[in-house]
Structures are given as structure tokens and as C-alpha cells.
């Protein structure tokens, strides 16, 4: 399939390849890390959607997977631990023409950044959030994470974790996200399609991605997922039924579902609801300062 | 002060929920329309209903910069106000109260009591009507025409319908006529100024300053006493095309404004000390990523939750130490509401030029205090200069966001600009944003980048004004202060002059950068120096010492939550000059 992109002055540009979205730096992830599959999938998705690097802003926090923006050819912000969604919301509201893609891990997004996860979903900010969920803290060399299973042995839980894990899918549904999917980095074709859907979706889309840590997580490795993952599409899942979506998301035994759990189309995004953005283009490009009429109105209100 | 023909302080006391703000607003409007200057300080407690409030309103024919040393008129809306404050009243002053519900205690000599028989003056069962009657009485006592009051009441109540306006005008008339028939009216007429003035709170001034500077994105989490900035921004958002968001916490606030600033919008946020503590990691992130954003800390009495509705200059070291590591920053402590307004566009131009965070330290006194200003003297369309900001797309490759330039300032492209694709990072990075950890941590490059960021500030002292003396250069004593104490020290210098003490004033506004050479010269030339701070430990003194090695001869400090009044400083200076103390702490407590 070949598509072309048109520039604002009407010229057609050839579609970029996945390789064109390769960043200037080679990833320093461990050999076999699940994050390679996610990077590969986003590069393919960006190519297939006909995007150009300058139209994308990737925003990350801190963690192995948060090194992502350096490995992907687009504008990028490698910010603070847990704060990617807050930074991304600010960037999106200041320039709503940007495709803002947020990348990070389970500790970054569901642990330290949990408050922003809740409220970004509630606001339905038009962001694409890719969470590389490896159920472990990797960059700090192997401690329990918010998605680690109960009983898991890690360096900070040497006698087994006594806490149950958080379910990102049901959390996202309850908090008001409007595109909620799960992917597996070992199935790049499937993940690419899910990510394309997430980028095309207007509203807050989250893709929780099984991205196994080959160094510190012996429990949830590729064989674990390969044996269990089943695609929701293969079962004719109804993506408009939130209760069914929650039931499928909570299944965690011999079968673990991937694919699109739920999508709400047409719900207004935060930017759609914001009167200030209705006309005049991106805030970032508007003239600065006050005009005479605005000045007069302000001063008369103070006299 | 001798040059004032008219200097009148009235105070309205009552409990929260009793509608103190309304008579305050009505009176303020009458005075500013008459061209009189005004300064108000509202002493209150962190209780929405029931807490005691005392609103000071000082009115003069000259500019007023503090709430003064005396009370000319006390309006008691409840018994508690009478009990707490009657003893503060001096000879010639007046106390107005509802005689149906309030009884005076021991009345100081020379105080005129004005009991109002409220139930005889109105048939209204609205419990707030006593306030309007009292306002009528106050206007009569000050020898004012009723027409100005009627106009102000109409403006205040017309949203609520003609019936409400009529009820209030009738009540005010009753209070006005009662006073004229039964009370001793001051014969000295209230003067009028050359033209009507406007009034703002410092929080409104910083918000307006931001808007005038081109702020397009404002985020906040509510926190006293900074919330007035959020309220002004929210109220004006649509008219001015400013995105205003209330966010889940101050961590989110600070990071969101960084995101918006990176996308190209001038962005700011305001909070108080506790919220600023949550923001501090992001302050360093802005420093490391070289993104210009402005953080405003409206200080309140700390530590921790502290005294939420009381003022203090206690966050200086928090601002100095905000975030880990060495990074470039501005810290500025405006000296008044007007100065806060003027500071904002200047600070935005500086943070854009030097690509770093800026912090503004005001406090409850400036933020929630109200002062008059002459709109003709306020530049609402100040110069906007964004520095080395790239906004035009280009066909090119090889853009280095953190190019190691001679000046240290690397041209900054906003996100989305074709031809300038790049990453910004909170990790240490190379000129092209590659993380140094990806290069197996390169000491040479690390040193280069630290020095590049530092080098960009090499010209910064030329861009901000150095502190300078106000008053006679050869004074016997130099009073040093920073930020919000400017107005009260200024008047103390005048009062000292009347008492035969030649004093001058060295006010500080810019904290970082700091003009160490100029300060050293001034302080070394001073005969005697006294440092005045609204905190316990002498935060600015310790900072000045760390930057210059200078010491001072004495200190005046206040940390009870209330602001200085001029006489506190006068007393402290006299005690220092008499060598009775090293650190003078005024203990006269206003019972609020």
C-alpha cells in the first residue's frame, strides 16, 4: 500500500518508511527487551498513517521505556518520572495540531504518575498513551511494580509481594478513557494496528502493552504470554460494552486478552470543550499581549 | 506623614460570613472614584464561616503603601470585634456598632461611640442590612455627600434587581440621616484627587502582568493566598484567549506549564509554599531542558501548613534551593502590587532570553492586599521579546537544540516546527540532545554542557536593575529590606526623619541574579545597617551574607503572621540606635 501526504502548500510528499522514524541513537535496552517491539510498531504505525516526524511529539517520563523519544525520529520530551501525561497535556493544549504520543512504563504511569493517569483519562485529552508494562521496575534493577503479581519475588519483596496488582484496563475504563486496548510486543503486526487505531482515535487512548523484561522478570516472560494471549477480535468482542470489556480485562489465567477492549467514539475531548481553542489556531502560534479593547475592558472593571 | 493632607484608616470587623467584603467594596469604590488613594489589608482566619476578620482600609490624598499605625474609625459588625479592638482606639477616633446586639466595654478616653439603633432604622429582616446602615453612618461621619454612596450601592447591587438596590439605598439613607442628627460629624472635608483611580490586589496585578506579557497558558491548584491569581485568570480566560486549567496537584501544574511552554506558549502558574514544594522537581526540569516558565509563590506563614491566612517572607531559601543540582534561574521579589505587575513582562522577556525558569516571590500582604493605581501609569502593552526563539519552518537537517554557542544561548525551536525535529531531556545531554548515559557517560561532554548553561548567564546582571538607596546617601542608618516590606520601610524612614533620625532605605527586588559588587559598595559605605524581614531566621540576611560576606549591625524581624506597621520599624530602629538590642521583634499583637 502506498499513500501520500500533502503539505499545507499543496505539494505531495512521498510516504515515509518505518525506517525513517528511526531516531539518531540506537536503543540501549537489554537484548530481547520487549520495548524493541513497541518501538518497531510505532515506527510502522507512523509510516502507515502517513505522518511526518515534525507532526509528532513523543513525551516520556523516566524508566527504561521512557528512553523511547531518543530512539524515535520526532519531536520529543524526556521529562520527569511520572509526569509525562501532565507535560503532554500542556503541549497538546498549547498546540493541538501536534500528534502527541506518550510513552513510558508501568511504574512511571500507574505508580508515581497514577494521579495524572486518572485525571488525563477523565479529561479525555487527545493523547495516545503507550505503556510498556513489564510488571517490574527494571531501571532500578528489579523491584516490585504496581502491576507485579501477588506473591512475586523481587529485590524489594524477597519473601513475595503481598499486594495485589492494579488493572490498567479496568482503571482506564472507569476513569473515562475513550480508547482502551492491550497489546503484546511479541506480536508486532497486531500491536501496530492497535497503535494506529489509538493515534487515529480522537480522545485519550491508552494501549497497555505486555513488554517483557528479560533481565528482571522471570515470571512474565515471552513464553508466559505466548501461551496465553488471545485476540479479542477473534472472538467478535463488542467494543461498545464497558461491562463486557471489564470482564475480559480481568481474565488472567490460561487466557489473557489483547486487542481493543472498548472505544467510545464522538465523545468531546478536553480541547473540543475548551472555548479558547475554538478559533484562532494553536495557542502557541497566536499573537502575544493584549489589544486595546481587552485593555479597556480590564481597566474599566477595576475602577 | 506631614505631606499628607488627609490620612484616614477605617477598619471593619466581624465574623466570616457576615459580609464584610461588601461594605469594604462599596466604600473603596467611593474613595477611588473621588481620586483618593487606598491601601487595604484584610486580617482573617482560615475559617469560611465564623472566623474573625478585620479589614483595614487606609485612605489618603497621597499614595499609601501600608495599612498605617492608627485606626480612625472602627465599624463593629459583632460583639467580638468590639471586645477585641476597642482598646486599640485612640483619642479622636470613632466606633460604630449595632446597639441592638453589641455593647461596648471600657471605652478609651476621647473615643466617640456611635451606637446605631438598627431595629428602629429599618424594617428589613435581612441580617446583612446592618452593614449598609453602618456604611451610611460612616459616610456621614466622614462628611461625604450621600449621592456618591447611592451611586456605589447601585453599582454593587444592580445585578440583584431594583428592589435590592432600593432596600439598600433606604437603609444607607437611614444610617446617614441618623448620624447627621445624632452624632458628632467631622468638619474636615475629605479631599478629592485629580482623577479617578483603579484598585487591584497584588494577585490580580501579577495575573494582569502575565496576560500583558503574553501568557497563553495558566494552570493552578487552589491554595491560599495565591488563589486570587487563578480566579482572575479564570474570569478573563475567554476574553483574553488564555487557556486556564485547574489541575489535580501542583506537580501536574508545574509539568503542564512546561509542556505548554515547550510547544511555544508563554506559560505560568501560581501557588504558595506547600504547593511550590511539590513543583520544585519541575523547576529543575525547566532548568535542565532550558524551557522558560514562570512560577509564582505567594508566600504564607510556614512551615508546612503553617498559618494559611497569614503573611510571611519565609520561602526565600525554598526558592533558592528549589530542585537538585546547579541550574540557571531568576528569583524576583516585587515590592508592591504595581511593581509585581511591571515585573511580569520583564521576567518573561528574561526567561525567554536566557531559556530558564523564573520564580516570583510575593506574599499574602501583596497578593491579597489591595492598592490603588493610576491606569495611565500602567503599560498594558509592554514590549515582548522572545529572545532566540525559532518560529519559522525551514528545510534543513542537523539542528542542535543545545548547540554549544559562544554566548551559551542556543536558538530554541518550538515543538512542531518543520526542519527542527529534536528531543529535549531532563537527563544530561549532548548538544544534539543525545543522553550522555547513551554515550557511556562522557565527563568532557558533561563539563561542556554544565559550562554552556552557566555561560548563558554571563551577561545577566546587565539586564536587571541593581539595588539602590532611597533617601539621603549620608544617612545615619540604612534600613535594608526585600520584597513586600518596601512600602512600610519607606514610611518608617519618613517617620524617623520627623523624629530627627536620618535614615535611608536599601530595598531588594532581584534575588537571583544578585548584584554583589554594588551591594557591597552600598553596605560598606553605610554608617549603620539594620535588616528588616518578615520571618524568624533572617533568610535574606543569610543569603546576602552568603553572596557577599557582608554583615549588618542589627535586625528587625516579625514572624507572628501579621505584617509590619511603620511604628514597629521606627521603634526597632530607635532601640537599635540606643544599643538596647541586636534583634528587635515587635510583640504588639493585633488580636486577630
Residues B291 and B355 in one domain: yes
Same domain, B101 and B222: no
How would residue A3 be classed by pLDDT, with cut points 50, 70 and 90? Answer: very low
Q: What is the pLDDT of residue B590?
A: 60
- The residue to which cell 537599635 is assigned: B576
Domain assignment present for residue B556? The answer is yes
More confident residue, A11 or A292: A292
Alpha carbon distances (Å) from B571 to A111, A158, B471, B567: 55, 65, 19, 6
Last residue of one domain, picked from the residues B377, B405, B421: B377
Res B127: pLDDT: 85
For the cut 80, the answer to whether the pLDDT of residue B3 exceeds it is no
Q: Are B62 and B120 within one domain? A: yes
The CATH number for B338's domain is 3.40.50.970
Does A12 score more than 80 pLDDT? no
Residues of A in contact with B417 (CB under 8 A): 54
Collect all residues of chain B within an 8 Å Cβ-Cβ radius of residue A92.
259, 263
DSSP state of B82: H
Q: Does B252 sit within 8 Å of A86, measured CB to CB?
A: yes
Q: Which of B377, B398, B430 is the last residue of a domain?
A: B377
Phi, psi angle pair for B557, to nearest 5°: -130, 145
ipTM of the complex: 0.96
Q: pLDDT tens digits, residue range B136-169?
A: 999 999 988 899 999 999 999 999 999 999 999 9
Residue B442 lies in a domain: no
Check whether residue B141 and residue B248 sit in a common domain.
Answer: no
Inter-chain residue contact A98 with B432, CB threshold 8 Å: no
Query: In this structure, is residue B112 part of a structural domain?
Result: yes
Identify whether B389 is part of a domain. Answer: no
Beta strands B73-76 and B7-15: pairing type? Answer: parallel
pLDDT of residue B587: 87
More confident position, B592 or B303: B303
Q: What is the CATH number of the domain that holds B20?
A: 3.40.920.10
Interface of B with A in 427-466 (CB under 8 A): 427, 432-435, 437-438
Please, which pLDDT band fits residue A10 given cuts at 50, 70 and 90?
low
Question: Which pLDDT band, with edges at 50, 70 and 90, does B11 fall under?
Answer: very high
List B residues 180-199 in contact with A (Cβ-Cβ < 8 A): 196-199
Domain membership of residue A1 (yes or no) is: no
Residues B260 and B325 grouped into a single domain: yes
Counting residues of chain B whose pLDDT is more than 70, the rounded percentage is: 98
Write out pLDDT tens, residues A124-172.
999 999 999 999 999 999 999 999 999 999 999 999 999 999 999 999 9
pLDDT in tens, A175-189: 999 999 999 999 999
Residue B410 lies in a domain: no
Same domain, B15 and B144: yes
- Residue corresponding to grid cell 482572575: B232
Which of B319, B350, B377 corresponds to the end of one domain? B377
Express as a percent the part of chain A with pLDDT over 90.
Answer: 94
Residue B421: closest CA among A23, A11, A284, A196: A23
Same domain, B31 and B125: yes
At A213-268, the pLDDT tens digits run 999 999 999 999 999 999 999 999 999 999 999 999 999 999 999 999 999 999 99
pLDDT in tens, B20-45: 888 999 999 999 999 999 999 998 88
Instruction: Looking at the complex, report in whole angstroms how far the Cα of residue B157 sits from the nearest Cα belonging to chain A.
Output: 15
Best of B248, B421, B428 to substitute, by most chain A Cβ atoms within 10 angstroms, is B421
Under DSSP, is residue A135 helix (H, G, I), strand (E, B) or coil?
coil
Q: Given the DSSP bridges, would you call strands B370-373 and B37-43 parallel, antiparallel or unpaired?
A: antiparallel
More confident residue, B533 or B47: B533
Minimal Cα–Cα distance from B171 to chain A, Å?
Answer: 25
Quick one: pLDDT at residue A7? 58
Compute the average pLDDT of residues A7-30. 86
pLDDT of residue A1: 37
Residue B391 lies in a domain: no
In this prediction, residue A28 carries a pLDDT of: 92
CA distance A80 to chain B (A): 7
Average pLDDT over residues B578-584: 89
Cβ contacts of B433 on chain A, cutoff 8 Å: 70, 76
A67 contacts in chain B (CB < 8 Å): 435, 438
Name the grid cell of A26: 540506537
Query: Is the residue at A3 inside a domain?
Result: no
Predicted confidence band at B50 (pLDDT cuts at 50, 70, 90)?
A: confident
Its domain, for residue A154, covers 12-300
Name the residue among B152, B160, B125 with its Cα closest to residue B136: B152
Instruction: Write out the three cell numbers for B426.
Output: 531532563
Decide if B299 contacts B275 (C-beta within 8 A).
Answer: no
The H-assigned helical ranges of B359-499 are 364-368, 443-455, 486-498
Residue at B116 is within a domain: yes
* Between residues A271 and B581, the one the model is more confident about: A271
Residue A7 located in a structural domain = no
- Among B423, B432, B433, the strongest candidate for a mutation testing the A interface, having the largest count of A CBs within 10 A, is B423
Q: Do A303 and B216 touch (CB under 8 A)?
A: no
Number of A–B residue contacts, CB under 8 Å: 210
- DSSP structural state of residue A110: I
Q: What is the pLDDT of residue A5?
A: 58
Contact B380 A119 (CB under 8 A): no
Q: What is the DSSP string of B562-576?
A: SPP-HHHHHHHHHHH
The CATH number of residue A146's host domain is 3.40.50.970
Q: What is the pLDDT of residue B174?
A: 96
What is the structure's pLDDT at A8?
A: 57
Mutate which: B252, B258, B341, B383, vs A, most A CBs within 10 A? B252
Domain assignment of residue A207, yes or no:
yes
> Which pLDDT tens digit goes with each residue over B532-580?
999 999 999 999 999 999 999 999 999 999 999 999 999 999 999 998 8
Nearest CA in chain B to A74: B421
Angle, nearest 10°, between helix axes B250-262 and B273-289?
30
A55 found inside a domain: yes
Q: All 3 cell numbers of residue A96?
A: 493541538
**Do B506 and B567 fall within a single domain?**
yes
Residue A4 lies in a domain: no
Report pLDDT for A6. 57
On whether residue A2 sits in a domain, the answer given is no
Asked if residue A5 belongs to a domain, the reply is no
In the numeric block, the cell 503539505 is attached to A7
Instruction: Please state which of the ranges B146-150, B204-208, B502-506 shows the lowest mean pLDDT.
Output: B146-150
Q: Give residue B487's domain range.
A: 477-584
From B35, which residue of chain A is nearest by alpha-carbon distance? A303
Residue A290: which of B245, B282, B380 has the nearest Cβ?
B380
Q: Which residues of B442-455 are buried (b: 16+ CB within 10 A; e: fewer)?
A: beebeeebeebbeb
Q: Find out whether B138 and B27 touch, Cβ atoms under 8 Å.
A: yes
User: Is the domain of B288 the same as that of B335?
Assistant: yes
Q: Residue B439 — very low, low, confident or very high, per pLDDT cuts 50/70/90?
A: low
Cis peptide leading into residue B303 (ω within 30°)? yes
Weakest mean pLDDT among B231-235, B496-500, B576-580 = B576-580
- Same domain, yes or no, for B121 and B208? no
Average predicted confidence (pLDDT) for chain B: 94
Give the distance from residue B325's alpha carbon to the nearest chain A alpha carbon, in angstroms: 15
> Which residues of chain A does B211 touch, with a Cβ-Cβ cutoff of 8 Å?
290, 298
Same structural domain, B172 and B235: no
Which residues of B are less than 8 Å from A286 in CB distance? 216, 241
Instruction: Count the domains in chain B.
Output: 3
To the nearest 10 degrees (0 to 180), the angle between helices A84-94 and A114-123 is 30
Per the structure, the count of domains in chain A is: 1
Sign for the CA dihedral angle at A55, A60, A65, A69 comes to positive
Chain B contact set for A89 (CB, 8 A): 256, 259
Is the domain of B25 the same as that of B81?
Answer: yes
Place of cell 557591597: B520
Residue A297 clears pLDDT 80, i.e. is over it? yes
Partner-chain residue, chosen from B213, B426, B432, that has the shortest CB–CB distance to A80: B426
Residue B390 lies in a domain: no
CA–CA separation, B36 and B371 (whole Å): 11
pLDDT in the model for residue B527? 97
Helix then strand then coil, in percent of chain B rounded to 5, is 40, 20, 40
Q: Which residues of A touch B245 (CB under 8 A)?
A: 93
pLDDT of residue B549: 98
Amino acid at each position: 500500500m502506498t499513500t501520500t501526504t500533502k503539505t499545507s502548500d499543496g505539494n505531495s510528499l512521498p510516504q515515509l518508511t518505518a525506517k525513517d522514524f528511526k531516531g539518531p541513537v540506537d536503543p540501549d535496552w537489554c537484548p530481547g527487551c520487549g520495548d524493541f517491539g513497541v518501538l518497531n510498531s510505532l515506527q510502522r504505525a507512523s509510516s502507515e498513517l502517513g505522518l511526518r516526524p515534525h507532526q509528532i511529539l513523543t513525551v516520556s517520563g523516566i524508566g527504561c521505556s521512557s528512553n523511547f523519544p531518543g530512539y524515535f525520529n520526532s519531536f520529543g520530551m524526556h521529562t520527569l518520572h511520572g509526569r509525562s501525561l501532565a507535560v503532554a497535556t500542556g503541549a497538546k493544549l498549547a498546540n493541538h495540531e501536534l500528534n502527541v504520543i506518550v510513552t513510558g512504563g508501568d511504574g512511571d504511569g500507574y505508580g508515581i504518575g497514577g494521579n495524572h493517569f486518572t485525571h488525563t483519562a477523565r479529561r479525555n485529552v487527545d493523547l495516545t498513551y503507550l505503556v510498556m508494562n513489564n510488571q517490574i521496575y527494571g531501571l532500578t534493577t528489579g523491584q516490585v511494580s504496581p502491576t507485579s503479581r501477588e506473591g512475586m519475588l523481587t529485590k524489594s519483596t524477597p519473601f513475595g509481594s503481598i499486594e495485589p496488582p492494579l488493572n490498567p484496563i479496568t482503571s482506564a475504563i472507569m476513569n473515562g478513557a475513550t480508547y482502551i486496548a492491550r497489546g503484546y510486543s511479541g506480536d508486532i503486526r497486531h500491536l501496530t494496528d492497535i497503535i494506529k487505531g489509538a493515534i487515529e482515535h480522537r480522545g485519550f487512548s491508552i494501549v497497555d502493552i505486555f513488554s517483557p523484561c528479560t533481565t528482571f522478570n522471570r515470571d512474565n516472560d515471552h513464553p508466559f504470554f505466548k501461551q496465553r494471549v488471545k485476540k479479542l477480535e477473534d472472538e467478535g468482542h463488542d467494543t461498545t460494552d464497558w461491562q463486557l470489556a471489564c470482564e475480559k480485562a480481568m481474565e488472567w489465567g490460561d487466557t489473557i486478552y489483547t486487542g481493543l477492549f472498548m472505544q467510545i467514539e464522538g465523545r468531546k475531548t478536553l480541547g473540543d470543550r475548551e472555548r479558547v481553542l475554538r478559533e484562532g489556531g494553536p495557542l502557541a502560534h497566536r499573537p502575544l499581549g493584549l489589544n486595546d479593547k481587552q485593555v479597556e475592558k480590564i481597566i474599566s472593571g477595576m475602577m | 506623614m506631614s505631606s499628607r493632607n488627609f490620612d484616614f484608616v477605617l477598619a471593619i470587623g466581624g465574623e466570616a460570613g457576615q459580609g464584610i467584603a461588601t461594605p469594604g467594596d462599596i466604600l473603596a469604590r467611593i474613595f477611588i472614584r473621588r481620586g483618593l488613594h487606598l491601601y487595604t489589608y484584610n486580617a482573617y482566619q482560615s475559617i469560611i464561616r465564623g472566623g474573625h476578620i478585620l479589614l483595614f482600609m487606609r485612605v489618603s490624598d497621597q499614595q499609601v503603601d501600608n495599612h498605617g499605625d492608627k485606626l480612625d474609625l472602627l465599624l463593629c459588625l459583632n460583639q467580638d470585634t468590639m471586645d477585641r479592638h476597642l482598646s486599640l482606639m485612640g483619642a479622636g477616633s470613632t466606633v460604630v456598632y449595632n446597639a441592638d446586639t453589641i455593647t461596648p466595654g471600657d471605652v478609651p478616653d476621647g473615643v466617640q461611640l456611635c451606637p446605631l439603633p438598627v431595629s428602629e432604622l429599618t424594617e428589613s429582616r435581612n441580617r446583612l442590612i446592618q452593614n449598609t446602615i453602618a456604611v451610611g453612618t460612616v459616610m456621614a461621619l466622614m462628611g461625604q455627600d450621600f449621592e456618591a454612596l447611592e451611586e456605589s450601592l447601585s453599582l454593587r447591587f444592580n445585578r440583584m434587581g431594583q428592589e435590592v438596590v432600593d432596600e439598600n439605598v433606604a437603609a444607607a439613607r437611614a444610617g446617614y440621616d441618623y448620624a447627621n442628627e445624632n452624632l458628632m460629624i467631622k468638619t474636615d472635608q475629605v479631599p478629592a484627587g485629580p482623577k479617578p483611580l483603579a484598585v487591584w490586589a497584588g494577585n490580580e496585578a501579577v495575573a494582569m502582568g502575565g496576560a500583558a506579557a503574553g501568557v497563553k497558558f495558566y494552570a493552578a491548584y487552589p491554595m491560599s493566598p495565591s488563589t486570587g491569581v487563578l480566579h482572575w485568570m479564570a474570569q478573563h480566560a475567554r476574553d483574553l484567549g488564555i487557556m486556564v486549567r485547574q489541575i489535580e496537584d501542583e506537580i501536574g501544574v508545574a509539568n503542564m506549564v512546561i509542556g505548554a511552554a515547550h510547544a511555544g506558549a508563554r506559560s505560568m502558574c501560581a501557588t504558595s509554599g506547600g504547593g511550590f514544594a511539590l513543583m520544585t522537581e519541575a523547576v529543575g526540569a525547566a532548568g535542565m531542558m532550558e524551557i522558560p516558565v514562570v512560577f509564582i509563590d505567594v508566600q504564607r506563614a510556614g512551615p508546612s501548613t503553617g498559618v494559611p491566612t497569614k503573611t510571611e517572607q519565609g520561602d526565600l531559601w525554598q526558592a533558592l534551593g528549589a530542585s537538585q543540582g546547579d541550574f540557571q534561574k531568576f528569583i524576583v521579589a516585587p515590592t508592591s502590587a504595581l511593581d509585581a505587575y511591571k515585573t511580569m513582562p520583564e521576567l518573561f522577556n528574561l526567561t525567554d532570553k536566557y531559556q530558564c525558569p523564573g520564580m516570583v516571590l510575593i506574599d499574602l500582604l501583596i497578593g491579597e492586599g489591595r492598592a490603588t493605581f493610576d491606569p495611565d501609569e500602567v503599560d498594558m502593552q509592554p514590549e515582548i521579546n522572545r529572545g532566540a526563539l525559532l518560529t519559522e519552518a525551514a528545510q534543513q537537517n542537523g539542528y542542535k537544540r543545545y548547540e554549544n554557542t559562544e554566548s551559551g544561548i542556543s536558538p530554541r525551536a518550538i515543538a512542531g516546527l518543520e526542519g527542527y525535529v529534536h528531543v529535549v531531556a531532563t537527563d544530561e545531554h549532548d548538544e544534539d540532545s543525545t543522553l550522555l548515559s547513551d554515550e557511556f557517560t562522557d565527563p568532557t561532554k558533561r563539563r561542556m554542557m554544565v559550562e554552556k548553561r552557566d555561560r548563558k548567564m554571563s551577561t545577566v546582571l546587565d539586564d536587571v536593575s541593581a539595588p539602590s538607596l532611597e533617601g539621603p546617601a549620608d544617612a545615619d542608618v540604612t534600613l535594608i529590606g526585600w520584597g513586600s516590606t518596601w512600602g512600610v520601610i519607606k514610611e518608617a524612614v519618613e517617620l524617623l526623619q520627623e523624629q530627627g533620625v536620618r535614615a535611608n532605605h536599601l530595598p531588594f527586588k532581584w534575588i537571583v541574579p544578585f548584584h554583589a559588587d554594588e551591594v557591597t559598595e552600598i553596605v560598606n559605605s553605610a554608617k549603620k545597617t539594620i535588616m528588616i524581614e518578615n520571618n524568624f531566621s533572617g533568610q535574606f540576611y543569610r543569603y546576602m551574607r552568603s553572596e557577599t560576606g557582608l554583615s549588618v549591625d542589627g535586625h528587625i524581624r516579625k514572624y507572628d503572621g501579621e505584617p509590619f506597621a511603620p511604628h514597629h520599624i521606627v521603634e526597632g530602629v530607635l532601640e537599635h540606635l540606643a544599643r538596647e538590642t541586636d534583634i528587635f521583634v515587635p510583640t504588639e499583637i493585633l488580636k486577630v
